[in-house]
Amino acid sequence: VEAHAPRRRHRIPCRSPGDTTGLQAHIASGRIVAADIVAVMGKTEGNGCVNDFTREYATTALAALLGTHLHLPAAEVEKRVAFVMSGGTEGVLSPHVTVFSRKPRHRSRAPAGQKRLTLGIGFTRDFRPEEMGRRAQVEETAKAVRRAMDDAGIDDRRRALRAGQVPPALLQPRSATRAPAASTPSPPTPTSRWATRAAPRRWAWRWRLGEIQPAQVSDAAVLRDWSLASSVASASAGIELDHNVVIVLGMSAARRAANWSSRTTSCATPSTPARCGAPCRRWASPTAKTAKRVVNVFAKAEASPDGLVREQRHTMLNDSDINSTRHARAVGAVIASVAGRSLVYVSGGAEHQGPAGGGPVAVIARA
Amino acid sequence: VEAHAPRRRHRIPCRSPGDTTGLQAHIASGRIVAADIVAVMGKTEGNGCVNDFTREYATTALAALLGTHLHLPAAEVEKRVAFVMSGGTEGVLSPHVTVFSRKPRHRSRAPAGQKRLTLGIGFTRDFRPEEMGRRAQVEETAKAVRRAMDDAGIDDRRRALRAGQVPPALLQPRSATRAPAASTPSPPTPTSRWATRAAPRRWAWRWRLGEIQPAQVSDAAVLRDWSLASSVASASAGIELDHNVVIVLGMSAARRAANWSSRTTSCATPSTPARCGAPCRRWASPTAKTAKRVVNVFAKAEASPDGLVREQRHTMLNDSDINSTRHARAVGAVIASVAGRSLVYVSGGAEHQGPAGGGPVAVIARA
Amino acid sequence: VEAHAPRRRHRIPCRSPGDTTGLQAHIASGRIVAADIVAVMGKTEGNGCVNDFTREYATTALAALLGTHLHLPAAEVEKRVAFVMSGGTEGVLSPHVTVFSRKPRHRSRAPAGQKRLTLGIGFTRDFRPEEMGRRAQVEETAKAVRRAMDDAGIDDRRRALRAGQVPPALLQPRSATRAPAASTPSPPTPTSRWATRAAPRRWAWRWRLGEIQPAQVSDAAVLRDWSLASSVASASAGIELDHNVVIVLGMSAARRAANWSSRTTSCATPSTPARCGAPCRRWASPTAKTAKRVVNVFAKAEASPDGLVREQRHTMLNDSDINSTRHARAVGAVIASVAGRSLVYVSGGAEHQGPAGGGPVAVIARA
Amino acid sequence: VEAHAPRRRHRIPCRSPGDTTGLQAHIASGRIVAADIVAVMGKTEGNGCVNDFTREYATTALAALLGTHLHLPAAEVEKRVAFVMSGGTEGVLSPHVTVFSRKPRHRSRAPAGQKRLTLGIGFTRDFRPEEMGRRAQVEETAKAVRRAMDDAGIDDRRRALRAGQVPPALLQPRSATRAPAASTPSPPTPTSRWATRAAPRRWAWRWRLGEIQPAQVSDAAVLRDWSLASSVASASAGIELDHNVVIVLGMSAARRAANWSSRTTSCATPSTPARCGAPCRRWASPTAKTAKRVVNVFAKAEASPDGLVREQRHTMLNDSDINSTRHARAVGAVIASVAGRSLVYVSGGAEHQGPAGGGPVAVIARA
């Protein structure tokens, strides 16, 4: 039992997409043990769109660094650590990574029965282009999410869902070829999380998660029936991957390694632009004292497909110089303003994640 | 005396930069009398940068419309109405114009001694390119601001300044040629408002206002000494103009036409990104009731020249695809989120307007 | 009979989208008679995409100018002069308009039987959103093209087509609402020109011309069967219009007003990127002498939908900052380099106009 | 002596900035020996501006690949191989690398006295921010260029210069901090090549080469006196480096390893937009036969600082969405059109490299 439970989630600013000196310093000082790292979520300073290579570059650089510490090739590192990167920080966001680690032999010191934040990861197999956005990817993703939840010790999925305490699972697939438009099949269980998909926008597939009844799932619903949406899923798409990487954060009463002893809690709620600061305000009113409790904020956002924001016209769908996913930077500004920090994770493109024009917001805060 | 004092400030959404159907409908219905219009401030959906022709197009279209009602050529309309347009609405802002009008024979119904919001306008003569950003423009601008204040009936400049109740005066100059870099000379009076200037960024001059002692003014201070800043000035630059257009909004106890009888008040405070929502929160907490009192919000914003936001790196100065003035859209999102509406006027590029990295925020609200 | 036949096509540089001083000077000097102007084709300096308002602004400014000369409201001018504007000049292109005029009582001085360049214009009625890209628009466009050919005195359509001497007919429609994807019905006659359509890219309809057998036309073919293409059509789309504006340039032996007496000829050939300079080289080898014969070059270009240029990968389909239609600026550079001038009309987006990845190139030169 | 002299310069297409599979295949097949590689010049698909991380990413990936073959850390690879990357391929350019290699024990088979293409590389020490663009960097660069020329066996510098046969030496420096504007001191020898510099555009230093008399060099001349220009220098700037990397290509009669036995020759001439295809036309008229002789074309280009192209206005200096360095893509299109291939190296930003508005063009072709 440790005298001082080390922090399990570190926000580390980055000076460039390939900059790993921050993590290196944490490892050198012992604040982070390389072998304990299980997941990294980061914001990089690319355009967040199709030709954004900063996501891939950041992952490559981080995997190379960890490889030297773990004496593993970078490719092997990517099989045991879940890297999820989202591009785009213009506005007030600041490039950074949040590093999640856990001790293999660690036991939670939380009182029995009390829930603590926990994390699990999962991977799917590589997909063939024609599987992207179709049944194969959906089913494999559902399996990977379930493995991640088992890994995290989140046993009561229904309750987790109801409480809205199962935050971002992120998917990053890639289409090597230009496959035809896609569909989504029936998920294995009700209320499980599985990927719907988003558009082959300029040849890149974008995938999304949802919690929906199997019968509701059809090809025709994808990118059309916006009522089919997950309130707790956040998916980023990158052309650099052929498989899905899943991170599940949730609350668990299980006393095991995955259950951090620090009294950390989280919340996740679907949000519309009108309310996108609300979940943060619960944890971080703009005073120095409470804001310090916030570890990080994770959110998805999108320009509303009906072209309206607060009943007036927005211009994101017509702007040919500014991709509509960059609308997320406006939401990021609101969240940063409430949370009192620019190191927040707000990612663009929230199709089937939250209501149309909205997206999930999850706050990790110290209890 | 009117039974029902008509509204004097109308927010009108625009469907495109050349769309004047909204104003046309207000004139047709009698809600706005064309001859009473004295100023129009608008947000158009261009990029807000040098090659943004939507400002000029909107002004051209509005002047043409008013010309048909006033039986004047468009060029004459631009001599009696102050048009101030600011480009850039990506994110959550919505293109619109705020139309200010006043009755020539109108008398304020406010109790004697009680101040009401009032407005004045002024114009400078055309400048020669070599005068831009130099003594000639500064002095002429100071004169125009003074004329606008006289026009508005704001007699106590010191008190107005102290109370921070003299909101945006906006300048839109233009350099027809590529003149060398510029300077700013001594202004005629202490605490008067005068234009400093901003950089000939890509051949376009950008001008700014400040309230500074004459002795402080020197060429070397321009775009260097950020402590020289106006807390109540907002200047937009466009290559489409050769002269400055000035609008002054302030509080006045004088019982005259310029003094609107509706109990309207305003505030203006310098603001940094950390506090950019604060002035709005005073008037518009996010409840339907109070938010309705807000007529409009006018603000300037800029990416901090030190490259930092909340002590972390921002990426606006290095982004070669997203001009740094677009940072203002992030501030616009915060203000829209607090004010509860997307029809707000937030303009980018706040050199010498508010502290470095900040800018003035003015709220017009019904008392 | 005039002693010196005045030039009928004037290339006039523009200082900005709203700049009409060049045309004004030509009218003031008598080089152009306002009442003789029948068509204006221009390149403006917007982004050439959906939120490019410079096309609309240029047309508005030109119509206002001509209105003062013709004592007509601008709206009436737009009913008798065909304005076709294409945005986008980044690279080496230079903003300009080509003004086409003809004398009502003019008789060609060309020897009997010898063909001369001639021009006709046509307009369709306004379309309803649901007609865009469907049978109604196609049929109306075919009719307008036929009226324009009659207007121009091009009687032998088959021969004209075979010779490839019927250059750009341009369409500029607009969808006010977000109508569902569209189709194209059977055209009235074989080998007539009619509009196919292009995608509702970000809610804006893009329309194209083709010369195809009626039986070949089906909804499924649109934006899929690239073999269905016109070798002589050039269509620009703008959200600012509700109807189509058609200009037909061709050779005619008829001795009438539309047939310019100056010995002018033209050519139009489909072109791929590999050969996009070829038509120009026939008329303008890069020597001062021959280049002077070229009046203007009109071309369409597009990034090949297979993602390849000269058998290697191009990056236009993946670039989220640079719209793929901007690929036309690269083709414009090649054409400008061969023609020896930057005042050329090269427009992006050539769906169903020329082979996939190519587009028509038309040269007007003095014989 | 080899029976068949292997090719020494390989053009290898890249599927993404981090894609090294092409080079890997060449090494696996024995066509390229990893230990023989001395230099790599590449075009990557970033924006070519300040926040273009694809240059750095490509270098990182290539160095990692070679490291595995040479059993060296990537950092060591970068000390013996000169990597020069230039971002920006929008238009018709295609991402690729040109790999230069040479056998240590190789002897040229060219007849005595006959010159062959040869290559040398050099590196400077790391610079401190305050040295960037000043005397220290200039002198160190001049030394590195001289070392590279010695390395290449180009002994007669004057003749080489006169013949214009010393093609691109490229510099990639970086400023970690925001140092004040810079100057250039006296170079060690007349007619030596040394760096002038370019602007700290958005905090990034851009360095350039020139061949100038020492007395001509002054701080005031930098980015002002455009007559001070090198006709044979090509410099790319990236924020990812702290030192300069130099590649010198030239003709040499010395029979040594650096002198490739294949009968390869090169030319380099300064070029303006009007003539930018001329050097290529000498080697590659657009026929399949002659075009095959061209190995690659290396050029620099820039939008003319006087705002004109062929005596008409260009719009690159006013476009706030398209950085002016992207003008080089238009020149790249012309060169690709003449050379008949899209795998050409055309890089933007040619300050002090060739005449104002122009840049050097070098062709490597088989004799």
Whether residues C330 and D94 touch (CB distance < 8 A) is answered with no
Is residue D352 pLDDT above 50, yes or no? Answer: yes
A35 vs A152, B37, B100, D255, CA distance in Å? Answer: 17, 70, 65, 55
Contact state of D314 with C47 under an 8 Å Cβ cutoff: no
Q: How many other CB atoms are found less than 10 A from the CB of residue B109?
A: 15
| Cβ–Cβ contact A50 with D under 8 A | no
Average pLDDT over residues A137-152: 78
Chain C within 8 Å of B216 (Cβ-Cβ)?
A: no
**Degrees to nearest 5, angle at CA B123 with B122 and B124:** 135
Would the CB atoms of D96 and C312 count as touching at under 8 Å?
yes
Confidence category of residue A56, pLDDT binned at 50, 70, 90 = very high
Among B89-98, B234-243, B255-264, C98-107, the minimum mean pLDDT is found in B255-264
Tens digit of pLDDT for each residue in D85-95? Answer: 899 999 999 99
Name the band, by pLDDT with cuts 50, 70 and 90, for residue B263: very low
Give the Cα separation of A55 and A17 in Å (integer): 7
B136: pLDDT strictly greater than 50 = yes
Please, which residues bridge with residue C269 across strands? C361
Tell me which of B52, B239, B320, B323 to substitute to probe the interface with D (most D C-beta atoms closer than 10 Å): B320
pLDDT digits (tens, 9 = 90+) for B11-24: 999 999 999 999 99
Mean pLDDT within C255-271: 52
State the pLDDT at residue C282.
59
> In chain D, whose CA is at the least distance from the CA of A322?
D321
Of D202, D321, D323, the CB nearest to B318: D202
Query: What pLDDT score does D177 carry?
Result: 27
Looking at D105-190, list the stretches that DSSP marks H as alpha helix, in order from N- to C-terminal side.
135-152, 157-163
Does B211 or C66 have the greater pLDDT score? C66
Q: How confident is the model at residue D359 (pLDDT cuts 50, 70, 90)?
A: confident
Question: Does the structure show a pLDDT above 70 at D361?
Answer: yes
pLDDT reported for residue B118:
78
Question: Mean pLDDT of all residues in chain C?
Answer: 71
Identify whether the C-beta of residue A62 lies closer than 8 Å to the C-beta of residue A40: yes
Contact B53 C46 (CB under 8 A): yes
Chains touching chain D through at least 3 C-beta pairs below 8 angstroms are: A, B, C
Residue A198: Cβ within 10 Å count: 23
Asked if C61's CB is within 8 angstroms of B64's CB, the reply is no
| Beta carbons within 10 angstroms of residue C99's beta carbon | 26
**Direct distance between the N- and C-terminal alpha carbons of chain D, in angstroms, rounded to an integer:** 21
Report the alpha-carbon distance of residue A51 to residue A57 in Å, rounded. Answer: 12
- The minimum CA-CA distance between C56 and chain A, rounded to whole Å, is 15
Interchain CB distance below 8 Å, A330 and B330: yes
CB-nearest to A202 from C50, C51, C317 is C317
* E strand intervals along D289-358: 294-301, 308-309, 312-313, 345-348
Two structure tokens written together for D360: 């050097």
Listed range (A46-55, A279-288, C185-194) with the worst mean pLDDT: C185-194
Q: Are A137 and A55 in contact (CB under 8 A)?
A: no
Contacts of D16 in chain A (CB under 8 A): 53, 56, 239-240
Q: Is 60 exceeded by the pLDDT of residue B177?
A: no
pLDDT confidence band for A217 (50 / 70 / 90): low
- Cβ pair D18:A53 closer than 8 A: yes
Q: Given A18, A64, A239, which is nearest D56 (Cβ)?
A: A18
Average pLDDT over residues A313-319: 89
Least confident of C168-172, D24-28, D321-325: C168-172
Q: Is the pLDDT of residue D160 over 70?
A: no
**3-state SS, residue D23:** helix
CA atoms within 13 A on the CB side of D367: 14
Cα-flanking dihedrals φ and ψ of residue A266, to 5°? -145, 165
Strand partners, B12: B97
Measure the CA–CA gap between C115 and C166, rounded to whole angstroms: 13
Does the structure show a pLDDT above 80 at A193? no
**Is a pLDDT exceeding 90 seen at residue D254?**
no
Average pLDDT score over residue span A283-310: 74
Helices B21-29 and B54-70: crossing angle in degrees, nearest 10, is 30
pLDDT (0 to 100) of residue A46: 94
What 3 state SS string does C14-76 have? Answer: CCCCCCCHHHHHHHHHCCCCHHHEEEEEEEECCCCCCCCCHHHHHHHHHHHHHHHHHCCCHHH
- C201 pLDDT band, cuts 50/70/90, is very low
Residue D247 clears pLDDT 90, i.e. is over it: no
At C194 the three-state DSSP class reads strand
Give every CB contact of residue D359 below 8 A, 6+ residues apart in sequence.
D234, D270, D271, D276, D299, D300, D301, D302, D331, D350, D353
Residue written as token pair 């699972």:
A169
- Total CB pairs under 8 A between chain A and D: 43
A149 vs B: CB within 8 A: no
Partner-chain residue, chosen from B16, B45, B56, that has the shortest CB–CB distance to C18: B56
**A166: buried, middle or exposed (CB in 10 Å: 19+, 13-18, 0-12)?**
buried
Q: Is C273 left (phi over 0), alpha (psi -120 to 50) or beta?
A: alpha
Provide the pLDDT for residue A238: 61
Cβ A346 vs Cβ A332: under 8 Å: yes
Q: Which of B264-268, C200-204, C272-276, D315-319 has the lowest mean pLDDT?
A: C200-204
Does the pLDDT at position C55 exceed 80?
Answer: yes
Give the CA distances from residue A153 to residues A209, A253, A255, A262, in Å, rounded to whole numbers and listed in that order: 20, 8, 9, 16
Q: In the prediction, which pLDDT does C115 show?
A: 73
Rounded to 5 degrees, φ, ψ at B216 are -75, -15
Residue D187 has pLDDT above 50, yes or no: no
pLDDT: is D200 or A359 the higher one? A359
**Whether the predicted pLDDT of B63 surpasses 90:** yes
pLDDT at B14: 96
Whether the predicted pLDDT of B172 surpasses 60: no
Q: Phi/psi at D308 (nearest 5 deg)?
A: -120, 145
Cβ separation B60–C61 shorter than 8 A: yes
CB contact under 8 A, B90 and A315: yes
Q: Which of D47, D204, D307 shows the shortest C-beta gap to B321?
A: D47
pLDDT in tens, B221-234: 666 677 766 666 66
ipTM of the complex: 0.81
Which of the residue ranges A302-311, B202-211, B289-298 has the most confident prediction, judged by mean pLDDT?
A302-311
According to the model, what pLDDT value does residue D289 have?
A: 60
Give yes or no for residue A202 having a pLDDT over 50: no
Helix (H) or strand (E) run with residue D97 in it = strand D96-101
| C169, pLDDT greater than 60 | no
From the CA of B61, how many Å to the nearest CA of chain A?
Answer: 20
pLDDT by residue (tens digit) across A218-250? 666 666 677 766 666 666 666 566 788 888 777
Confidence of residue D35 (pLDDT cuts 50, 70, 90): very high
At C286 the pLDDT is 47
- In C, minimum Cα distance to A201 occurs at C318
- Provide the mean pLDDT of chain A: 71
Find chain A residues with C-beta within 8 A of B91's C-beta.
Answer: 314, 316, 327, 329-330, 333
pLDDT (average), residues D63-86: 93
Residue of A nearest to B334 (CA): A334
Inter-chain Cβ pairs, chain C and chain D, closer than 8 A? 124
Q: Does A50 touch chain C (CB under 8 A)?
A: yes
What predicted TM-score, i.e. pTM, was given to this entire model?
A: 0.85
Q: What is the pLDDT of residue A235?
A: 67
Instruction: Give the pLDDT confidence score for residue D22 in this predicted structure.
Output: 97
pLDDT exceeds 80 at position C85:
yes
Q: Which of B144-158, C241-255, C321-335 has the highest mean pLDDT?
A: C321-335
Span A167-182, average pLDDT:
29
